[in-house]
Copies of this chain bind each other. A is one copy, B any other.
Amino acid sequence: MNLSPLQIARYEYSPKLPGMLRNGVSEISVKVGEPTQSVADQDKIKALFPNTYGKEEIKFEKGTNTAAPKKQVVGVILSGGQAPGGHNVVCGLYDALKATNPENVLLGFKGGPSGLLEDDFIEMTDEYINQYRNTGGFDIIGSGRTKLETVPQFEIATEVCKKHGVTAIVIIGGDDSNTNAAVLAEYMAANNTGVQVIGCPKTIDGDLKNEDIEISFGFDTATKTYSELIGNIERDCNSAKKYWHFIKVMGRSASHVALECALETQANICLIGEEVAAKKQSLADITKQIADAVEARGNNGENFGVAIIPEGIVEFVPEFGKLIAEINELLAGEKTAEFNALPSWEAKYAFIEAGLTKESMAVFAMLPTGIQQQLFLERDPHGNVQVSLIESEKLFAELVKNELAARKEAGTYKGKCGFLTHFFGYEGRCAFPSNFDADYCYSLGYNAFMLISYGYTGYLSKVSNLSAPAEEWVAGGMPITKMMNIERRNGEDKPVIRKALVELDGAPFKFFEANRDKWAVETCFLYPGAIQYYGPASVCDITTKTLKLEQEAK
C-alpha cells in the first residue's frame, strides 16, 4: 500500500482519552446519576419507549470495573455523510473491546445501516484497523443513508445479530441516525433480544447539539478546513484588490458551519439562515445588506471582500419558500408533461408567469436566468424543486451585481469589482481529523464500549467539558430519549432528537452580531491557515470559536 507521508506520520499519533478513562479498563467504574426525562412531550416519549425511557445519566470514574465479564460481539455502523474522525470512533471502540477481553469481536457492517440488513460485514483485526488510525474518511467500512426505522428491518437486524452472536450495535450518525438508534434499542429491549444499542454523535453540520452534546464530531475539522480556504481567499482578494468572493459552505439547513467560518476568518459578510427567517428577510433585503457593504468598502477604495453563504439559506427566505411551493403546485401531476412539451424557454416563461401569484412572480423575475431554468428543469423524482442544488452563491453574486449596477447608474456607488463564487463541502468531510476530533472520536468509541460493557442500551456515548484539555474531559452516557421530542414529519407525529439551529441569543451569534458591522466595512480578515497536527499547542489544539464562546457563556 502506497501512503502519503502525513498518513504514515499520523499512524503514530496516540489519541488522548479523558483522564478517567486513562487507567485501563479494569479501573473504570460507573457513577449513576439522576433519572432523566425527555426535553419535551414526556408522556408521549415515555409511552413510545417503555423499556428505555427515564434511565439515569451515568458518568465514569476511577474505580474497580464491576461489569459482567461476558464475551461481547459488537457491530459498528457508519451512517450518513462523512465526518472527520469516524475511523477513530471505530478504533477507540476496538481498543477498549480488545483491552477488556481479547476474545471480544468487532464487526464492521459495510456501506451504512444496509450492511446490517444485508449481513455484510468484516471482522476487525489489528492489522486491518491500524491502517485507519487517525485518518479521515469512512472508507474503513463505508457509509450509507438507509434508514433503520421499520419493524421488518428490525426483525432482519435481529436475525443477523442472532446469527453472529452480536451483543451490541454502535451507530455512528447524526440526529436521525441517533433517533433510529433509540428506536432500535427499544425494539431490541422489548423483544428481549439481548442486543444493546449505543449512539455516537456525528455530523460536520453542527446541528446535533444540545445540553448533552457539546459538539458533534467532524465539525471541528470541517470548519477548520473551510476556514483555511476562506482565509486563503481573503488574503488573495486583499492582495489583488479587485474581487468579491461569494463562498457557499456545506451544513444543510442550520448555519453553524457558516457562522464558525465567519468567526474564524472575520469575513466581511456572513448570512445566517436562522436570522433571515426570524426577521422574515426577502431576497431584496439580503441583497441590499451585501450591496451596502460592497458600496461602503468601494467608497473606501477597497473593491474586494468575502461573503459566506450557508448551504441552506434560501429555505429560510419566506418569499422564496412560497415561490418553491407554488412551483411545485404549478407542475404537479400531469402539468409537468404539459410544461415540458412547450417548445422554448420563452413559452415556458409565459406559462410560469400565468401560473404564479403576482408576489411569487416578482421573486421569480429577480432570479438570474440560470437559476430560473434550474428551478423548472432539474427536479427530484417526486417532481419537486431540488432546493439543495440551487447555486445560492451565484444567485446572491448576481443579485448584488445587478443592485450595484443600479446604484452606479444612480450615482451612489462609485466602486468597481468582479465577482467570483465557490462552494466548499466535500473538501472538508474526509480531512485527516484535527487533534481535537482524533481525541474526541477515539474517546467516544472507547467510552461506547464501556457503556456496552456495563449493560447500557439506548444511550448516547457522551464526552463533555470539551473546551478543557482532554485530561479534564468527562466521559459517560445519556439516554437518547432524554434528547427527544415529538415533531411532525411527513404528516406524522414522530419522536425525534431536536435539530439544533443557530440560536440568535446564543453566545456565538451574539459575538458575531457585535462585530459584523466592523468586519463588513473594515478589512479585519483572519488567516487561519491549514490544520496543523504538530507544533505548538497554540496551533495544533485549537477549539472551535463556537464551542469556546458557548462554554464561556455557561
Q: Residues of A at under 8 Å CB distance from B?
A: 2-10, 81-82, 111, 135-139, 142-143, 225, 228-229, 231-233, 235-241, 245, 264, 266, 343-346, 370, 420, 422-423, 426-432, 524, 526-536, 538-540, 542
Contacts and interface: CB of A to CB of B under 8 A. Distances in A.
6 contacts: A2-B266, A2-B524, A5-B542, A137-B238, A233-B426, A344-B344
Nearest to A3: B526
A528 B6 contact: yes
A430 B374 CA distance: 34
Contacts of A346: 343-344
Given A4-B529, A534-B535, 13 more contacts: A2-B526, A5-B528, A9-B539, A82-B239, A137-B238, A233-B430, A344-B344, A344-B345, A431-B529, A529-B533, A532-B532, A534-B536, A534-B539
A245 to B, nearest CB: 7
B527 A4 contact: yes
Q: Say how many copies of this protein the assembly contains.
A: 2
Contacts of A143: 239-240
A531 B232 CA distance: 13
A535 B536 contact: no
A426 B530 CA distance: 15
A535 B9 contact: yes
Contacts of A266: 2
A233 B9 contact: no
Contacts of A524: 2
Contact of A7 (B111, B142, B228, B529): B529
A75 B139 CA distance: 53
A10 B528 CA distance: 11
CB-based closest 10 A-B pairs: A534-B535, A530-B530, A235-B430, A137-B235, A138-B239, A6-B529, A236-B430, A534-B534, A432-B529, A229-B427
Given A236-B82, A542-B5, A531 B534 contact: no
Contacts of A542: 5
Given A370-B370, A535-B534, A540-B534, A236 B426 contact: yes
A64 to B, nearest CB: 39
A535 B538 contact: no
Nearest to A266: B2
Given A232-B225, A233-B427, A139 B530 contact: no
A542 B346 CA distance: 56
B6 A539 contact: yes
Given A240-B82, A535-B9, A232 B426 contact: yes
A14 to B, nearest CB: 15
Contacts of A426: 232-233, 236-237, 245, 420, 422
A264 B526 CA distance: 29
A118 to B, nearest CB: 14
A76 to B, nearest CB: 15
Contacts of A370: 370
B344 A139 contact: no
A52 B285 CA distance: 61
A527 B344 contact: no
A386 to B, nearest CB: 12
A229 B423 CA distance: 13
A435 to B, nearest CB: 12
Nearest to A6: B529
Contact of A428 (B8, B232, B238): B232
A95 B228 CA distance: 29
Contact of A527 (B135, B237, B239): B135
A247 to B, nearest CB: 10
B9 A239 contact: no
Contacts of A10: 529
A357 B266 CA distance: 53
B532 A239 contact: no
Contacts of A529: 4, 6-7, 10, 136, 431-432, 533
A69 B549 CA distance: 57
A139 B539 contact: no
Contacts of A429: 232, 236
